[in-house]
């Protein structure tokens, strides 16, 4: 890869990972991703902002082939997709020192074995003069790890935002040219990674949003020359209350729960509730997470299996509980054989969410007219709960 100029003395020098389809062995990345590193050269000093995943080490080192000296490596976030190539960079540039938050210094020593004498802590609001280029470091804890920070290049109005405003998207575009596609992948990124920390995200959006932004340069995905567009999108995802929307997520072994899901979706729609339906045996959990951003109600459908929820439903409940969406209500529906007891305690599967658990709609074997009427009643209850929601 070659350096790509953003402003005078400022370049992108990261790596595009076109083929990555899973992140952290957990997060689907159907559009690939990029690991964005940035070079800032002043008249006196030069700084590299972040590195790349170790798997893309050669791409970064090749980009830096004509850079004779580095004085600083700024580590915004210690996770290895940002820090994995720091040891190789330090080996090439023995004069360079790594700058990170105090918590970041500790994590870097543990995660990538950085020697203590090569790492220096910086404070919130501290500046780094490079000669006509001034970086200001702003702590952004829990976006999405406790040690994260961002850098503000004062003279050029560029915010190097780390994971904030990022997207897992491999593209040859340096800037976000296709807004619809970028917004979709940014929403997926927010839902899968940032939603559990929505309150911290919202607080830090206001912190950096007060700056006179000209460009936002995140650690993943394309950059933004129109920062208001992506700032407003993230602000809405993090801060807006849930709306008149329900997520119906189900798994079915012998079609009974599937038929119940279809009836519930039909009746909810007829009563004016926006619905998104997911078959948990096949769905991309990232799409499910995205739907939860604006949902008020979760309807989880499952048959009874091995004296409990079907494993796909139990897994979905675990993930939803961990993502901490702004849900207000939840209900279980599904089919059982011997008895309903395995399906009667939905709250136990969502312990960290402050939810009103609605009465379930359960049936023995195939659903019949009384069971469909129970689903209609559940839909009516949900519609009433949503009255007045956006």
Q: Which architecture, in CATH terms, is 245-385?
A: 3-Layer(aba) Sandwich (3.40)
Cα 238 to Cα 228: distance, rounded to the nearest angstrom: 15
CA neighbours closer than 13 Å in the CB half-sphere of residue 379: 23
Q: Can 4-239 and 245-385 be said to share one CATH topology? A: no
State the average pLDDT over residues 46-61.
97
**Pairing relationship of beta strands 215-218 and 46-49 according to DSSP bridges:** unpaired
pLDDT confidence band for 247 (50 / 70 / 90) = very high
State the average pLDDT over residues 230-238.
98
CB 245 within 8 A of CB 296: yes
pLDDT at 56: 97
**Pairing relationship of beta strands 127-129 and 134-139 according to DSSP bridges:** antiparallel
Give 330: exposed, middle or buried? Use CB within 10 Å, 0-12, 13-18, 19+: buried
Residues in the chain: 390
pLDDT at 342: 85
How many CB atoms sit inside 10 A of residue 277's CB?
A: 19
State the average pLDDT over residues 228-251.
97
Name the CATH code of domain 4-239 (choices 3.60.15.10, 3.40.50.10440, 2.40.50.1040, 3.20.20.450): 3.60.15.10
Q: What is the pLDDT of residues 306-317, one digit of tens each?
A: 889 999 999 999
How high is the mean pLDDT of the chain?
96
State the average pLDDT over residues 130-159.
98
Domain boundaries, the chain: 4-239, 245-385
pLDDT confidence band for 390 (50 / 70 / 90) = low
Structure-token match 């830090």, residue found: 204
Q: What is the pLDDT of residues 82-131, one digit of tens each?
A: 999 999 999 999 999 999 999 999 999 999 999 999 999 999 999 999 99
Q: What is the largest CA-CA distance in the chain?
A: 79
CB 50 within 8 A of CB 89: no
Chain centroid offset of residue 23 CA = 11
CB 35 within 8 A of CB 15: yes
Chain centroid offset of residue 104 CA = 20
Please provide residue 113's backbone torsions phi and psi, each rounded to the nearest 5 degrees: 60, 40
CA 285, 288, 294, 299 torsion: positive or negative?
A: negative
pLDDT at 377 over 80: yes
Structure-token match 């902002």, residue found: 49
Q: What is the pLDDT of residues 266-306, one digit of tens each?
A: 999 999 999 999 999 999 999 999 999 999 999 999 999 98
pLDDT at 338: 87
The share of the chain scoring above pLDDT 90, in percent, equals: 95
CB 218 within 8 A of CB 228: no
How many CB atoms sit inside 10 A of residue 156's CB?
A: 17
Q: What is the pLDDT of residues 183-219, one digit of tens each?
A: 999 999 999 999 999 999 999 999 999 999 999 999 9
State the average pLDDT over residues 147-169.
98
Cα 315 to Cα 311: distance, rounded to the nearest angstrom: 6
């Amino acid at each position: 890869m070659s350096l790509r100029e953003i402003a005078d003395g400022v370049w992108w020098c990261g790596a595009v990972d076109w083929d990555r389809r899973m992140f952290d062995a957990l997060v689907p990345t159907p559009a690939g991703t990029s690991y964005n590193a940035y070079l800032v050269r002043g008249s006196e000093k030069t700084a590299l902002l972040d590195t790349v995943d170790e798997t893309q080490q050669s791409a970064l080192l090749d980009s830096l082939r004509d850079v004779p000296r580095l004085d600083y490596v700024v580590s915004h976030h210690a996770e290895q997709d940002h820090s994995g190539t720091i040891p190789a960079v330090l080996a090439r540039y023995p004069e360079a020192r790594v700058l990170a938050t105090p918590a970041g210094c500790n994590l870097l020593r543990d995660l990538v074995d950085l020697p203590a004498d090569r790492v220096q802590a910086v404070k919130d609001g501290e500046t780094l003069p490079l000669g006509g280029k001034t970086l200001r470091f702003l702590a952004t804890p829990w976006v999405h790890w406790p040690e994260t920070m961002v850098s503000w290049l004062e003279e050029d109005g560029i915010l190097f935002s780390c994971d904030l405003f990022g997207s897992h998207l491999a593209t040859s575009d340096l800037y976000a040219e296709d807004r619809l596609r970028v917004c979709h992948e940014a929403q997926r990124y927010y839902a899968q990674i940032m939603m559990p920390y929505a309150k911290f995200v919202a607080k830090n959006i206001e912190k950096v949003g007060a700056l006179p932004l000209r460009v936002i340069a995140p650690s993943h995905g394309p950059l933004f020359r129109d920062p208001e567009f992506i700032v407003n999108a993230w602000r809405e995802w993090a801060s807006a209350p849930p709306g008149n929307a329900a997520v119906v997520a189900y798994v079915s072994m012998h079609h009974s729960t599937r038929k119940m899901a279809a009836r519930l979706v039909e009746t909810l729609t007829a009563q004016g509730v926006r619905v998104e339906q997911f078959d948990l045996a096949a769905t991309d959990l990232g799409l499910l997470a995205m739907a939860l951003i604006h949902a008020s109600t979760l309807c989880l459908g499952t048959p009874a299996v091995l004296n409990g929820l079907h494993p796909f439903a139990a897994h979905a409940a675990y993930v939803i509980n961990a993502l901490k969406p702004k849900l207000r209500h939840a209900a279980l529906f599904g089919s059982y054989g011997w008895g309903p007891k395995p399906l009667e305690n939905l709250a136990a599967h969502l312990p960290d969410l402050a939810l009103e658990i609605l009465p379930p709609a359960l049936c023995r074997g195939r659903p019949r007219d009384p069971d469909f009427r129970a689903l209609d009643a559940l839909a009516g209850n949900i519609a009433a709960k949503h009255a007045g929601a956006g």
